[in-house]
């Protein structure tokens, strides 16, 4: 079987990648097992030295790697380069902090007692195409700094990125088997999950994929961390700075052509300022230029695949038949989808109920701030959200009421190496990043000495 990498803008095949045979896959698993036995015994200093070299390789090759990202999944070149730089920063963060995060914890007892953190084996990762470097380094840097090894099943359309990451690990001096990308098809996933060397599974992807992987993990009694869909609420209250809110709203919805779990998708605005905000929002969305992601002056590239563009078109059409009104955009040419804004969406509308993975923003009008919170929580997803108000004390009070893994006030929702990241409800479970993230695939072993 062959996976094809297709440039989303030109629709040309840029590479083909052959799927591993079962024999080849077993050899990869055996290599991971052998590598773990040695890697787990290395010092934090040795791991950190290699991780810093990896960061340096990413920075040195950021233009080349950013172009690879653009060609494989379509984001504009500056965003691709920025993603590589952010990945390098995460490597440096864990090189600097992993040892402190995993130090022994001592307890106040009459006898000597402590907890220690032991690496467990190979982390099997199933990663998406929308951030083909950041999503990988977000889990891999902490897992490997902790003494684990990893096997990466990347999305079929970004295998070139997966191979480039593996090559960078080898160039940085990591032993073979510490980081391996495995080009496998879905029927081969269970054999990886079932392998004794695999200690757990981390997946970023759709709700359906997460449900399937969680079932497999449960069947084989393996730890899993899931970061799934999102329909993030962006709440605009009466006292918000509407100009700034509209500017960030545009960025939050249209970044990466709207293809991110943490893109704001439901813009919940109180009635008093809804007309003014929607006008400002429409003006800013209308000013965006969608097109060739390698061309200067382009703000947004194509969607990554034709099926994604077709699905978004269907969601838009149905939303309009259900009472939504289009303010800006709405046209599509193959994978090139115009930045689009619709208003007068309600909780019965498909654009509210489903995750819209692309440049489609929806405005929902709330009676007041209490109604806004009810609307925000009235969803099966709970990844992240934002509140816009000049009253910081009230913002904190409201943030405590929102059902989500992350709440940002007067700011763009984003992931940060220093802060735990993850969701609740159908957005998944577990956390990435920070000290919490590095401990997800560790054995927290208690030792008691009388």
Answer yes or no: 85 catalytic.
Answer: no
Residue among 258, 245, 261 at smallest CA distance from 381: 261
* Nearest Cα residue to 127 out of 149, 91, 82, 159: 159
- Point out the catalytic residue in the list 161, 199, 261, 263: 261
Report the alpha-carbon distance of residue 381 to residue 270 in Å, rounded.
22
d(CA 332, CA 330): 7
Q: Which of 227, 355, 369, 432 is catalytic?
A: 227
DSSP 140-204: HHHHHHTT-EEEEE--GGGHHHHHHHHHHHHHTTPPTTSEEE----GGGHHHHHHSTTEEEEEEE
Sign of the torsion angle spanned by Cα atoms 305, 309, 310, 312: positive
Residue pointed to by tokens 């940060």: 416
Residues of the chain by 3-state class (helix, strand, coil), percent to 5: 45, 25, 35
Nearest residue to 441 (alpha-carbon basis) of 211, 179, 118? 118
Exposed, middle or buried: residue 285 (CB in 10 Å: 0-12, 13-18, 19+)?
A: buried
Q: Indicate if 227 belongs to the active site.
A: yes
> Are 140 and 152 contacting, i.e. CB atoms less than 8 angstroms apart?
yes
Instruction: Give the catalytic positions in this structure.
Output: 227, 261
């Amino acid at each position: 079987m062959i996976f094809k990498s297709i440039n989303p803008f030109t629709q040309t095949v840029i590479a083909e990648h052959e799927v591993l045979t079962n024999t080849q896959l077993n050899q990869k698993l055996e290599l991971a097992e052998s590598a773990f036995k040695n890697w787990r015994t290395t010092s934090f200093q040795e791991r950190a030295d290699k991780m810093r070299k990896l960061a340096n390789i990413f920075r040195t090759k950021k233009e080349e790697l950013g172009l690879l990202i653009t060609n494989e999944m379509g984001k504009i070149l500056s965003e691709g380069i920025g993603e590589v730089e952010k990945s390098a920063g995460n490597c440096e963060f864990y090189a600097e902090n992993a040892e402190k995060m995993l130090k022994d914890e001592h307890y106040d007892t009459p006898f000597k007692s402590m907890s220690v953190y032991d690496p467990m084996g190979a982390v099997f990762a199933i990663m998406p195409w929308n951030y083909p470097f950041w999503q990988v380094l977000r889990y891999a840097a902490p897992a490997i700094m902790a003494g684990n090894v990893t096997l990466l099943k990347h999305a079929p359309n970004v295998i070139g990125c997966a191979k480039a990451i593996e090559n960078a690990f080898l160039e940085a001096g990591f032993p073979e088997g510490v980081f391996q990308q495995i080009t496998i098809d879905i029927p081969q996933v269970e054999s990886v999950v079932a392998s004794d060397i695999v200690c757990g599974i981390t997946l970023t992807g759709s709700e359906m994929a997460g449900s399937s992987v969680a079932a497999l993990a449960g069947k084989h009694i393996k730890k899993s961390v899931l970061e799934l869909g999102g329909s993030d609420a962006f709440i605009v209250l009466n006292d918000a700075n509407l100009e700034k809110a509209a500017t960030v709203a545009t960025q939050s919805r249209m970044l990466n052509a709207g293809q991110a779990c943490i893109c704001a998708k439901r813009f919940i605005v109180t009635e008093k300022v809804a007309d003014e905000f929607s006008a400002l929002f429409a003006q800013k969305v209308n000013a965006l230029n969608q097109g060739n992601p390698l061309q200067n002056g382009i703000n947004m590239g194509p969607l990554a695949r034709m099926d994604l563009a077709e699905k978004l078109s269907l969601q838009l059409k149905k939303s309009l038949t259900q009472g939504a009104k289009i303010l800006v955009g709405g046209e599509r040419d193959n994978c090139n989808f115009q930045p689009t804004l619709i208003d007068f969406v309600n909780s019965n509308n498909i654009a509210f109920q489903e995750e819209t993975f692309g440049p489609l923003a929806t405005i929902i009008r709330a009676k007041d701030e209490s109604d806004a919170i009810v609307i925000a929580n009235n969803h099966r997803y709970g990844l992240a959200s934002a509140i816009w108000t000049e009253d910081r004390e009230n913002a904190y009070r409201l943030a405590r009421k929102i059902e989500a893994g992350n709440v940002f006030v007067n700011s763009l929702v984003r992931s940060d190496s220093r802060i735990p990241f993850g969701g609740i409800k159908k957005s998944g479970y577990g956390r990435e990043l920070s000290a919490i993230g590095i401990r997800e695939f560790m054995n927290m072993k208690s030792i008691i000495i009388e």
